[in-house]
Amino acid sequence: MKNNSDYSAIIIGAGVATGSALTKKFAQEGYKVCPVRRERSMSELDILTDQIKSDGGWAQGFGIDARDEDSIVSLFKEVEETIAPIDVVIFNPGANVFFPIEDTTARVYRKVWEMAAFAGFLTGREAAKYMKPRGHGSILFTGATASIRGGSGFSAFAGAKFALRALTQSMARELGPEGIHVAHMIIDGAIDTPWIKENFPDAYALKEKDGILSPEKIAETYWSVHSQHRTAWTQELDIRPYMEKF
């Protein structure tokens, strides 16, 4: 039986809510966790890694731009060679923006695509390079409602998320027979975050009725998918509160 403490987990997009919960969950399960955020968020990342260490886990944070190819290549090489073989990779950056189509500049569209799609490609490619020779590992991508339905004002976000979903399908078909589990997790609904609390108080009020997504429960679902036996793998899973309309 595989010992999780012999392996590492990379969480790209380890923000204050879902990303942090994912990092903590995989640390609790024994992995050497490597949360990744942009360099300007390193202070928050230090808080996260300190919490994990104080709880008895192993963590090392990295501040990089996931859109930069050289940075992603170097990240995977460093983790693989100096920390532990990579067994789990989670791609979880946020890139949600709202712009009417006539106000969507080329710069906005390109940046959102780079964050949500191109960075996902770089991450998935590097993960495959290290996992394929071992014949096992999980690559989990965070999707959104926009992955399957383009909403008014979300042309850039939906375009990028559609692309990420297609990437996961292609990777799953290619890498599944090699023993690598590729899954796409569609998050459908408001998440319990400071941003939702501040900007959407009516939605946040539903928390008292379990009407918004709990980051900790999302993390448990990711862990469940990662833990699946290869005879019954999930490729795509949607996660929403019981009262969310869809």
Q: Which residues contact 148 (CB under 8 A, 6 or more apart)?
A: 162, 165, 186
Q: Residues of the chain with pLDDT > 90: what percent?
A: 76
Residue ranges of domains in the chain, CATH in brackets: 4-186+219-239 (3.40.50.720)
In the predicted model, what is the mean pLDDT of residues 191-219? 90
| pLDDT at res. 62 | 96
The predicted-structure confidence for 123-181, as pLDDT tens digits, reads as follows 999 999 999 999 999 999 999 999 999 988 889 999 999 999 999 999 999 999 999 99
pLDDT higher than 90, residue 48? yes
pLDDT of residue 162: 96
β-pair partners for 140: 90, 183
